[in-house]
Structure 1
Amino acid sequence: MSKIILAIDSSIDCCSVAVYKNKYIYSLSEKCKKKHTSQILPMIQETLLKANTEFKKLDYISFAKGPGNFTSIRIAASIAQSLSFSLKIPLISISTLAIMAEKAWRKYKQKQILVLINAKKTEVYWGQYIRNKESIWIGEHTESLMKKKIIIEKINNLKKKWTLVGNESQLIQVKNFLHINNTKIFSPNAKDIIPFALLTIKNKKLFSLEENSINYLYDKF
């Protein structure tokens, strides 16, 4: 019998929920500007209803751990941690930037992804992800909080062609750069957490409490 997984994301201005059941993903996504708290719980209930399941039948909880908006990330993390504790089921956290790379693969079948999420007026969260032959995303070690003025220099120093994705409106300014193959503006989606959760479960590499903590990046550049 296949495991039932609940996935939650509230990293930036959108909320999304997904339930994996019987090899099918039921999902819901909505814009949640400053309304994450009031919207996410009804969305979870609605998605569980769509999947014809309930909390007590869940086997795993997974959530987007950031980087992203400080307050909204904490909402998803708090809900996921509370459900994990009360239901006594494992918790799996996944990088928001990795989730966006997976979305780029799902929608556009791109394997080399640059991810940018707006952080502050002068900074963005940056990640470089490559999907290897085993369909595993490599790149969490590249994640950093970066000054916007350095982005162009970083892109100019890249090799090969990359697809650039993110919620940053400034992406349009670099879409014609030498090493940028394509530019897509979108938000993360909880349904793209599911492949990571399934791989984690398959490999029996469930995370410790520390590894499930929120991903606060610091400035490396």
Structure 2
Amino acid sequence: MTSLLALDASSSACSVALWMDGNVISRVEHAPRGHTRRLMPMIDTLLDDAGIARTSLDAIAYGHGPGAFTGIRIAAGVAQGIAYALERPLLGISTLRALAQGAWQRDGAELVMPALDARLGELYVGLYRAGPDQLETVMPDAVVAPEALELPACEPGSITVVGSGVALLDRLSPEARQYVGTTQDREPEARDIVQLAAMDLASGVSTSPQQALPIYLRDQVVSSKR
């Protein structure tokens, strides 16, 4: 049986999830500024509930960002420590990709723009389209001012926007705004991260514990149409 542990602390929520041959169980707590204190007890409880020893885990995954700087550093550090101790591969998963995964799987969204409030008047944003078996990247994750965001031409109202960045959508240009349909303020969750990690692991994608790095995106910009 293949089993993966995932954790996320990129927002005010703190979440952990366990993937066991396609079955997922997860836990979420709203813990602003409490990620360091809550993550390990949540992991221990999750593994106890599943009846799985930590040594039985095949890989560790974490939300590598973008998101709250302190939170993603905490997630990277905890994931790195567990992976080191168990000598297991590590997988960093985009929190934007995870948001898109949740909207696709649970809401049936076909074209998803995950958007997180990046502060400083900017958005962390990406664009994903449903493929035959998984989401395909249309626009890479980046940070951009809402007014400068340029989206590829598509059907008006066809883009589902998920994440805290929905609060900034009124600042989009009229051209970009016309493509936005359904919106939902949602936080990244480990249950989506663990599913993406399972797919990546099956495809041979993983890193060593030494390569656990937060992804901030602050030096990247989205500006080109596709």
Deviation per CA, 1:146-181: give whole Å up to 9, x if none: 113334xx35x6423211111135156379942112
CA contact (8 A) 1:98 1:137 kept: no
Deviations for 1:63-121, whole angstroms, at most 9, x for unmatched residues? 11000111100111001111111100111111010000001012201121111111113
Aligned pairs for 1:1-221 within 5 A: 2-139=1-138, 142-151=140-149, 154=150, 158-160=153-155, 161-168=158-165, 170-171=167-168, 173=170, 177-207=177-207, 212-217=212-217, 218-220=219-221
Check conservation: 1:116, 1:124, Cα contact below 8 A.
yes
Report the Cα distance in structure 2 between the residues aligned to 1:169 and 1:129, rounded to whole angstroms: 16
* Amino acid in structure 2 at the alignment position of 1:106: Q
Cα shift at 1:132: 1.6
Instruction: Check whether the contact 2:124–2:141 (CA below 8 A) recurs between aligned residues.
Output: yes
Name the CA distance, whole Å, in 1 between partners of 2:168 and 2:109: 17
Segments of structure 2 that go 5 or more residues without pairing to the other structure are none
| TM-score using structure 2 length | 0.87
Identity %: 28
**Structure 1 gaps, min length 5:** none
- The alignment partner of 2:147 has SS state of helix
Q: CA RMSD in A?
A: 2.2
Look up the SS of the partner of 2:65 in the other structure. coil
- Length-normalised TM-score, structure 1: 0.88
The SS at the match of 1:114 is strand
Shift of 1:16: 0.5
Question: Residue type of the partner of 2:194?
Answer: I
